[in-house]
A and B are shown apart, each in its own frame.
Chain A
Amino acid sequence: MEKIVYKIPNGKLVKIFLESHDHKINSIRITGDFFMHPEESIIELEDDLTGLGLFPQYIEPVLNLFFSRKDIEAYGISENGLMEALFPERRGA
């Protein structure tokens, strides 16, 4: 289990617990002191990400779709923030 700790610029500290094999996400848990309404939607996001290849081209569209949803409001966590957490080469860009 890998633990990624990343302070999202202008956002909250996320701690992601990630299990991957051959660059495929077996399980992912996104934790931290952020806000998301409705709260349970984080489980949908984690389910959506599970099974995906751990590459930006697979992850980014899923995050984009999720954070664009009209029924979800997020504070302190974002598509970019999670991309930066998962792919360090995106940080400071």
Chain B
Amino acid sequence: MQTWRLLETGHKKAAWNMALDQAILESVVAQKAPPTLRLYGWDPHAVSIGYFQSLEDEVDLARCNEAGVDVVRRITGGGAVFHQSEVTYSVSTRLDSPIMPSNVLESYKVILAGLIKGLEWLGIEASFVPLNDVIAAGKKISGSAQTRRGGGLLQHGTLLMNLDVDLMFSLLKVPEEKMRDKLIATAKERVTSVYHLLGGGIGFNDAAQALQRGFSTALGVTLESAEPTEWELERAIQIRKERFESADWTKMR
């Protein structure tokens, strides 16, 4: 059985979260660290947009600023996400890992099996919907995004603990203002969360623990708790400054 590293890095700012994910990927690719599962949250709340999205077209920057919400561009594709009440996971592994399929769709499936198993521990039956979603009770409870670079794979994604859809849509741009109410109603019909399915009583730590068990079981790996290495922390500081805190990067598209 392979041993993977488990990093629980707490609730941090958006730029740091994204920088640390990238630093961990680089570290794992260079075999400075074993394959890694990281669990984390966002403080303050944040909007992340996909690599290919237009910042100005997707995000109401003035409202985010007023609400004290961070805005960050990810290195992964996919859509805009409001990170409020969730457990975020990231998996970093080399592509030559024996348990990771080279096919992108298959690798989403393998990794998300861990999240689905974790939800099972919480008593929620969930299933994978290609390419990158997990649904429970017919509604989306998790979205993920993957990038591959330098012979490695980084996949990060959310497990929704709760979601304030009204607040989310006040931070994101909608095509037409008169569509806002309809979009909010549609999102409420299509998105669910741990809170909505189980009620209160399950906190971040409970869900994070369930995810650890889920990933360990589904991937067939032993998880060993650790801290980010000095190299990773130094590299993350550098990436944060050069990329995720840089307006050139955030406003790139």
Whether a CB of chain B sits under 8 angstroms from the CB of A34 is yes
Q: Chain A interface residue count: which class?
A: 10 to 19
Bound-state CA distance A73–B145 (Å) is: 14
Are B50 and A33 within 8 A (Cβ)? Answer: yes
Contact of A36 with B175 at beta-carbon distance under 8 Å, contacts A31-B57, A75-B104 already known: no
Contact of A33 with B79 at beta-carbon distance under 8 Å, contacts A38-B149, A76-B131 already known: yes
Whether a CB of chain B sits under 8 angstroms from the CB of A4 is no
- Least Cβ distance of B109 to chain A in Å? 13
Whether a CB of chain A sits under 8 angstroms from the CB of B78 is yes
Q: Chain B interface residue count: which class?
A: 20 to 34
Whether a CB of chain A sits under 8 angstroms from the CB of B40 is no
- Least Cβ distance of B148 to chain A in Å? 5
Contact of A75 with B52 at beta-carbon distance under 8 Å, contacts A37-B148, A38-B149 already known: no
Are B78 and A35 within 8 A (Cβ)? Answer: yes
- Least Cβ distance of B6 to chain A in Å? 26
Bound-state CA distance A32–B80 (Å) is: 10
Bound-state CA distance A68–B233 (Å) is: 39
Bound-state CA distance A5–B80 (Å) is: 16
Residue-wise, chain A 15-28 has the 8 Å CB interface mask toward B (1 for contact) of 10100000000000
Minimal Cβ-Cβ distance residue in B for A17: B54
| Contact with A5, one of B50, B146, B148, B175 (Cβ below 8 angstroms) | B175
| Contact with B52, one of A5, A33, A38 (Cβ below 8 angstroms) | A33
Are A36 and B52 within 8 A (Cβ)? Answer: yes
Minimal Cβ-Cβ distance residue in B for A77: B52
Bound-state CA distance A42–B147 (Å) is: 14
| Contact with A36, one of B77, B79, B131, B149 (Cβ below 8 angstroms) | B77
Interface of A toward B, CB cutoff 8 Å: 3, 5, 15, 17, 29-39, 42, 73, 75-76
